[in-house]
Structure 1
């Protein structure tokens, strides 16, 4: 069998990007591989190295748009296909999905979207027989697709049913629909800057959010943006930047960051003057954290270890501990649109068990009077509110320190009645949807009394 082709100098422009996009979509839907695994690190698609930056950005948009609107795409294609999407040729399915996504939501000429999708299936041994079908369906999509999208009336189909049902139960029908709508938009690029957010917002053609995050719509490689090489900022969603700020003044204090990689919160703690120990079990992710700290010129002690088992050499306890526990990550679907289609409802219970174990471990490492900030990027209460309520009920000498709206730039809607932090993707709306929204995050501030 011949080796796979990725790109040649004489290839039709844009075809290599679409071929890799189809591979990645197939990897998510049929091999249950995450986007992070396929796009970065040792497991990344081998063809990525041969793509120019522009084609790499196109490939990522193709994949993200397809997965972000997967339910609506399924509805449209089901209306255009008499016998459904071919099940014996994954490339035919991915070509249809990517082609329709371009026609319906991307600035790609219809004829180019159709032609390149046909070329994708023609080059695949199993899918080649469906070239005529793909051509006919996508031409119909160009004519009729927009009206079929209108039939859906919203973004509910783009959320797995089990997940939407949970959000309706936990947040109400209206808010669940608002969350789904927010997840349908390509998110902005959020940056945490070391200083002068207004100045950096101007330089990066963005805006400074009330919380201090700089938000911009610039695309392309972040490494080429002003300030990156100088270590003046790092990429971090505005919501993810909030938990580390709940410690207040930590200059000179010993702070532990558990499950730390890739290090956005670690950088915040070090930038605030803390003596930071960062622990993560993944050698690859910890290598990335160390690279980030080097670029940012921040001193951090890094440890590769399972947070649940790790024990410091000097066991005097920490002044503060931040733990961002492994979770279902349902709050990050706007940036990681594969998450909803890879997770299952049973994962919530499984991960909640791990989260309880890690939180109790963190408490054991606190000094008397020390502060724990527990956070998670899940929208599921079992991984957030219920974990903390369980800790407060079981752990003698542990108390909650409520968060006030003044500590989070006056955004009272992200503070719960109990005084915890709860951001939703539909929070922080903007007249341009691409400049609105937050990742879904939960954080609580707890103190171990002496």
Structure 2
């Protein structure tokens, strides 16, 4: 440098201010994302495990997921589903290598780690890509920039597996629920429940009653499905654009798990009978009953939910009277020949399809649900004609949501009408001594399992 030249200008750091460059530097949020699919998957997991949303609600509300298209959208959904599926094991692995828990506000870093480990456990991405993309996302996010090295170290240890703790399938069920089910059903049953979570649940359709065998075969060919009950078809996954297939357009079928179709069949609705579907939305059971030729009243507390019933009835060209409001109005106008009460419940029986259920729900919320169920049973009993039939059902694994409901039905003056094995797919061990049915998700496992249900039938003297 020549003597008459001044050195380049370097501003002096102000007292109390940190240098703009150094180990405490945090980059501004970049204008790009190195991996939008993995970023969206992490944000879905934040909504589920930090905010308590269901996967469907998270997908509907997360902008970064909604902006994805095609393969990226499918990949983000697959990552999120595997994160939920393996969540219990993921937490064991991550916590094993963390020297201290991550700060409560570090939700994006937690989600990056969780989704990365899920990709490893689910074998849905190459090892190098899992680590590289998680670290890249950490580096390009202002809140996680300083933790990119931590993410790299933990993921490398987990993926190499040299010091991983031993994992068990039973870890896939949260401890609070696991202990309940061991007490109610035993270790072997809980082990089978855990196995249900390891594979994707198939999709079932109910085929409209009254169509010919030839038309039924056309539906099976069009959807690539198989019959697992006289009016239930199962496919491994939904066909692309299935709503454009002719059988769907003609209203010949609707999505409904085969176990969910059993309660309506147990009504044995006859042509001309007045039948009430007491909690009707989204309408699968209403359509079953209407296809049998009965006069159906579809009741639901919510007008918005009844709109779903109306849409489904219109597509299938079936009819029912729709009514909403306080359930007590049901006893004012008419006495029904039969009532189907698929009551609001914990929905723990749907854990194969809604794997987040056990992680975002709490067993201590059950008393509120049971109170509602018992009140609905009393209302249903009052709305029945003498000789009328009530079928009570919940897609629940919780013993209380069955036992206490049965007790309420008996207190209301109803008598048990035992269910027979042939009415529940001839499944082994389903019928209890009092004639009720307890369907477990691992039943029919050779064909992909079932939704869990408790079902009881009564008659009014």
Q: Is the 8 A contact 1:192 1:212 kept in 2?
A: yes
Alpha-carbon spacing, 1:198–1:329, altered in 2? closer, same or farther (3 Å)? same
Distance 1:211 1:388 in 2: 29
Of 185, 189, 206, the match for 1:192? 206
Pairwise CA distance, 1:256: 1.1
Q: Deviations over 1:206-253 (max 9, x none)?
A: 322146421111245543556333322211112111111001243222
> Which residue does 1:125 correspond to in 2?
142
Q: Is the 8 A contact 2:351 2:357 kept in 1?
A: yes
Please state whether the residue corresponding to 2:329 is helix, strand or coil. coil
Alignment of 1:17-416 (within 5 A): 17-40=37-60, 44-144=61-161, 148=164, 151-153=166-168, 155-194=169-208, 195=211, 196=213, 199-210=218-229, 212-219=231-238, 222-224=242-244, 227-307=247-327, 309-311=328-330, 315-392=333-410, 394-396=411-413, 398-416=414-432
The reply to whether residue 422 of structure 1 matches residue 438 of structure 2 is yes
Q: Structure 2: which 5+ runs fail to align?
A: 1-28
Distance 2:400 2:303 in 1: 29
Alignment of 1:424-443 (within 5 A): 424-430=440-446, 435-443=447-455
Alpha-carbon spacing, 1:269–1:53, altered in 2? closer, same or farther (3 Å)? farther
Pairwise CA distance, 1:367: 1.4
Q: Is the 8 A contact 1:211 1:238 kept in 2?
A: no
Structure 1 runs of 4+ off > 6 angstroms? none
Q: Deviations over 1:49-94 (max 9, x none)?
A: 4332544433332222211211111112223333344533101111
Pairwise CA distance, 1:302: 2.0
Distance 1:361 1:297 in 2: 30
Q: Is the 8 A contact 2:200 2:352 kept in 1?
A: yes
> Which residue does 2:15 correspond to in 1?
none
Alpha-carbon spacing, 1:319–1:66, altered in 2? closer, same or farther (3 Å)? same
Over aligned residue pairs, what C-alpha RMSD do you find? Answer: 2.5
Q: Is the 8 A contact 1:198 1:207 kept in 2?
A: no
Please state whether the residue corresponding to 1:370 is helix, strand or coil. strand
Greater Cα shift, 363-372 or 249-258: 249-258
Q: Structure 1: which 5+ runs fail to align?
A: none
Distance 1:226 1:123 in 2: 48
Distance 2:135 2:294 in 1: 56
Alpha-carbon spacing, 1:293–1:55, altered in 2? closer, same or farther (3 Å)? farther
Pairwise CA distance, 1:142: 2.8
Query: TM-score by structure 2 length?
Result: 0.85
Alpha-carbon spacing, 1:118–1:279, altered in 2? closer, same or farther (3 Å)? farther
Query: TM-score by structure 1 length?
Result: 0.87
Distance 1:148 1:277 in 2: 57
Distance 1:113 1:227 in 2: 42
Pairwise CA distance, 1:446: 0.7
Please state whether the residue corresponding to 1:437 is helix, strand or coil. coil
Pairwise CA distance, 1:296: 2.0
Alpha-carbon spacing, 1:317–1:411, altered in 2? closer, same or farther (3 Å)? same
> Which residue does 2:6 correspond to in 1?
none
Distance 1:50 1:224 in 2: 24
Distance 1:342 1:127 in 2: 25
Q: Deviations over 1:98-120 (max 9, x none)?
A: 11111111432223333333343
